[in-house]
Amino acid sequence: MNILETEWWSMALPPEWWAESEEESILVGDRDDVGCLEFTTLHKESGEFDAAEVLGIAEAESEQKLTWKPLTLGDFKGVASSFIEDEAAIREWYLASGALLLFITYSCDEDNAGMDDAAVNEILDTLMVVPA
């Protein structure tokens, strides 16, 4: 396992997965090019995110009318949903820990839907907050 570490969070990546930093996000994908995760990190100026606030952000930000399921992944709690759009299978997560909010999307061709689900779930379950 490799460790992907940012200034605020880290997670374990299997050897067959890669990661690269973009301007405002981090991309993570498998070497088979089945799909790609994209992480955007947001910070609250003061206070912490609570469950109701995370759900409200997810509902407001999503362009789809989705059913959000609560979940815990590593050090983060939030909501997740999935949908099909323009022949792509998309999964979205809004996860918070303290003043930190992660918006995560996974997308792949609709024909590959579900192929990486178990691996993606395992990877996201290793999300940890980097101690200050």
Q: Does 84 map to a domain?
A: no
Closest Cα to residue 78, out of 48, 118, 36? 48
| 26-57 residue pLDDT tens | 999 988 888 999 999 999 989 999 999 999 99
Q: Does 45 map to a domain?
A: yes
pLDDT at 8: 93
Q: Does 44 map to a domain?
A: yes
Mean predicted lDDT score pLDDT of the chain = 93
Any residues with CB less than 8 A from the CB of 107 and at least 6 apart, and which? 35, 36, 38, 88, 89, 90, 91
How are the residues of the chain apportioned to helix, strand and coil, as percentages rounded to the nearest 5? 15, 50, 35
Q: What's the rounded Cα separation, in Å, for the pair 22 and 112?
A: 25
Q: Does 37 map to a domain?
A: yes
Q: What is the pTM of this model?
A: 0.93
Q: Can you give the residue range of the structural domain that contains 44?
A: 32-49+96-105
pLDDT at 13: 95
Of 15-19, 24-28, 36-40, 114-118, which gets the smallest average pLDDT?
Answer: 114-118
Q: Does 100 map to a domain?
A: yes
Total structural domains in the chain?
1
What is the percentage of the chain residues whose pLDDT exceeds 90? Answer: 83
Q: Does 71 map to a domain?
A: no
- What is the pLDDT confidence band of residue 20, given thresholds at 50, 70 and 90? very high
